[in-house]
Each structure stands twice: as C-alpha cells, then as structure tokens.
Amino acid sequence: MNLGIIKNILLNNPELLEKLEVLKLASELNPEFKTPNITGGYLRDILLGKTSSDCDVVFEGYMKNQPGVLECVKEAEKKLKYEPYDGWEFENFKVSGLSGDIFEDVIGFYSNHTDYLTLIMCDGNKNIRVGSKHTLECLENRLYDIRYQGLLVWLGFRERTYFRAMAGLGCRGMYLCHKLELNISDSAEELFVKFDANFSRLTEEERASLLGYWNKKTRNLSNIVHILDRFGVKCLNDSSIANKK
C-alpha cells in the first residue's frame, strides 16, 4: 500500500473528515491545544476496513492531564452541529515524548508504538504522514509485526518492568490479531508462544491489571479462545470463557 492509496482511503472517510474539522476548530478555540493530530489505531482500522472504538489524538500543550482540552473539542462539536463523540483520547507529546518533535515522538524514531501498523498521523489540515516504510508493507499484507524499538520506550522512559512490557505487548498483539484478522510475523509468533512464561513473572497486581485489559478488549469478540489455543496460552483461557462459544 503506497501513500497515495492511504490518502485516498483516509480523506474519503466522512467520519475522519468530521473529526479533523472538529480538532482544527478546537485548536482555534483553545490556543493551548496546539497541532492536534489523529494517530494510531483509528487510522489503522479505517485502512483495514474495520471500526475503531476510540480515537487517539496527540497535541502540543503545556502539562500532563491538561485542563480544557476535552471542553474545547466538545465546544467545537457543538458549533459545527456534529453528534458528540465519546471516544476521544488525548496525549500531550510535549510531556510524554522524548525529543520534543511531534513527528519523531509519535510515529518516528522515538515513538512508543510497538507495532508498525499504527505509525500514521493526520492533522486538521489533512496532512498525512507515515513513520516507516515497513508500515506500508504491513498495511498491504495485513501483517502484525513487533516494533521492539517502541518497547524500549516503555521499559525506560515509561518505567515498565521487562516482563510487564513483554506480557502487555503479547496480550495486546493477540487481541489485535484476532480482532483485525491479521497475519502474524515470526517475531510476533515467538512472543505469543512465550506469553505464559512472561505472565508467570508478573506480580499479582500486574496480572490483575493485564487480565482486566484482556477481558475489556475481548468482551465482544467471538472465538477469542482460538488464538490462545494456537499459541498454547493457558493463563488467559479462564478469563475468556464467555468468548469460547
């Protein structure tokens, strides 16, 4: 999949265009809500013909949990007479990033994204950027491939323990591969096979947190047990009884 095809698909999606218009107006209403970009799974799902439950927005601001962000977005929705959207998720890259450059921190070298399918961003002026050539290959082949460079950010800058980061990556990866019907790279397959071993090294609190994430994400997915059986995962099976049918 080349950049031209990506632009054609995204810029002909009415829901995305509506959200971009909202964000552009919101940044005008609130000068502290700078350069908002939609990124990650929302764009990935459009390109793969799927529906996303939320929309990640990165922006340039001045503090963590910055007040007034959601309020200006809601005001923009009201002014534009659009139906309120409840799936907005915001992150100030100036706080969470490493380099201070929005491209490098969100989809570039310093990105914390742990797969290549999500290295895409689009701003209110409809500028679309892709962070890696491998992203184009993964989109073309519906391939889930591990980006361990992003995992390093979670290990260091975001202070995850090694086994928590590895187990979390495996948990998220299996859920996404099942939901989006993705092909699985060799590196991802190796990680999934090691899931139980990584999970066994977690604290009780970490296990509970990861099980809660898994149950939340797979609640409405059928046959989720199939991907667990494929990779010999036992520790998530009991939490997925409702999805076995």
Whichever domain contains 49, its CATH number is 3.30.460.10
Residue 23 lies in a domain: yes
Residue 240 in this model has a pLDDT that exceeds 70: no
Residue 104 has pLDDT above 60, yes or no: yes
Same domain for 209 and 134: no
**Domain match, 134 and 171 both:** no
Q: Is residue 149 part of a domain?
A: no
Q: Are residues 68 and 137 in the same domain?
A: yes
Residue at which a domain ends, from 141, 176, 196: 141
Where does a domain end: 106, 141, 176?
A: 141
Identify whether residues 13 and 129 lie together within a single domain: yes
Residue 63 and residue 135 in one domain: yes
Q: Are residues 119 and 178 in the same domain?
A: no
Q: Tokens representing 77?
A: 């929705």
Q: What is the pLDDT of residues 149-184, one digit of tens each?
A: 999 888 876 678 999 999 999 999 999 999 999 999
Closest CA to 26 of 93, 59, 65, 75: 75
137 and 29, same domain (yes or no): yes
Residue 231 lies in a domain: yes
Q: How confident is the model at residue 239 (pLDDT cuts 50, 70, 90)?
A: low
Q: Which of 112, 141, 170 is the last residue of a domain?
A: 141
> Does 9 share its domain with 127?
yes
Gap between the Cα atoms of 88 and 55, Å rounded? 5
| 175 inside domain | yes
Across the chain, what does the average pLDDT equal? Answer: 94
More confident residue, 37 or 242: 37
The number of distinct structural domains making up the chain is 2
39 assigned to some structural domain: yes
- Claim to verify: residue 175 and residue 61 sit in the same structural domain: no
| 228 occurs within a structural domain | yes
Residue 57, in any domain of the structure: yes
Percent residues over pLDDT 90 in the chain: 89
14 with 107, same domain: the answer is yes
Best mean pLDDT range from 41-45, 92-96, 241-245: 41-45
Same domain, 11 and 110: yes
Structural domain span for residue 227: 160-243
Both 81 and 172 in one domain: the answer is: no
Let me know if residue 147 belongs to a domain.
no
Average pLDDT of the residues in 129-133: 96
